[in-house]
Amino acid sequence: MQLTVEPDEAWILLSTAETWGVRVPQTIATGVPTITTGGLHLITHGFLALFTLDILAHRAITIAAGTAMLFLGFRIFRAAEHDHGLALAGTVLMAATPGILLQASLALGEVMAFTLLLASAAHWTWHGRNSASAALVTGLLLGLACATRINLLVSLGAFLLFVLVFHWGDWAKLRHAAVALVVALLANGAITALHYWSGGGGLGERETTLLSVATGARTVRDLPYLLESFEVANQLFPFLLVAGIALAWLFRRTVPRKDEGARASDLAGLLITIGGAMLLAWVVQAPIPHLRYLWPATACLWTGGILVLLDWFNSPHKRQTRAMLHLLVVVAFFGSFASNVRALLVGDSVILAYQFMGLSPRYAAPGQPQGFDSMLQKKQAQLVADLPPIARIEALAPETAMPTVLLSGRSVYPLDRAPRSGGERVLITTPADYRIWNPGPRFSDWRARHTREVFAIGGHALLHVEPSAPPAPHDRRSLGSHTL
Helix and strand counts by DSSP (H, E) for the chain: 20, 5
Contacting residues for 356 by C-beta, under 8 A, at least 6 apart: 232, 235, 236, 289, 291
pLDDT (tens digit per residue) in 277-292: 999 998 888 777 777 8
pLDDT (tens digit per residue) in 73-99: 999 999 988 888 889 999 999 998 988
pLDDT given for residue 437 in this prediction? 67
pLDDT greater than 60 at residue 482:
no
pLDDT (tens digit per residue) in 36-72: 899 999 999 999 999 999 999 999 999 999 999 999 9
pLDDT given for residue 64 in this prediction? 96
370 — pLDDT class (breaks 50, 70, 90): very low
Mean pLDDT of 430-455: 82
pLDDT given for residue 483 in this prediction? 39
pLDDT given for residue 305 in this prediction? 94
430 — pLDDT class (breaks 50, 70, 90): confident
pLDDT greater than 70 at residue 472:
yes
Q: CA torsion, points 415, 416, 417, 418, in degrees to nearest 10?
A: -160
**Is 156:118 a contact under the CB 8 Å cutoff?**
no
Cα separation, 125 vs 176, whole angstroms:
11
pLDDT given for residue 470 in this prediction? 86
Mean pLDDT of 218-226: 74
443 — pLDDT class (breaks 50, 70, 90): confident
pLDDT given for residue 410 in this prediction? 93
pTM of the model: 0.87
Mean pLDDT of 370-390: 83
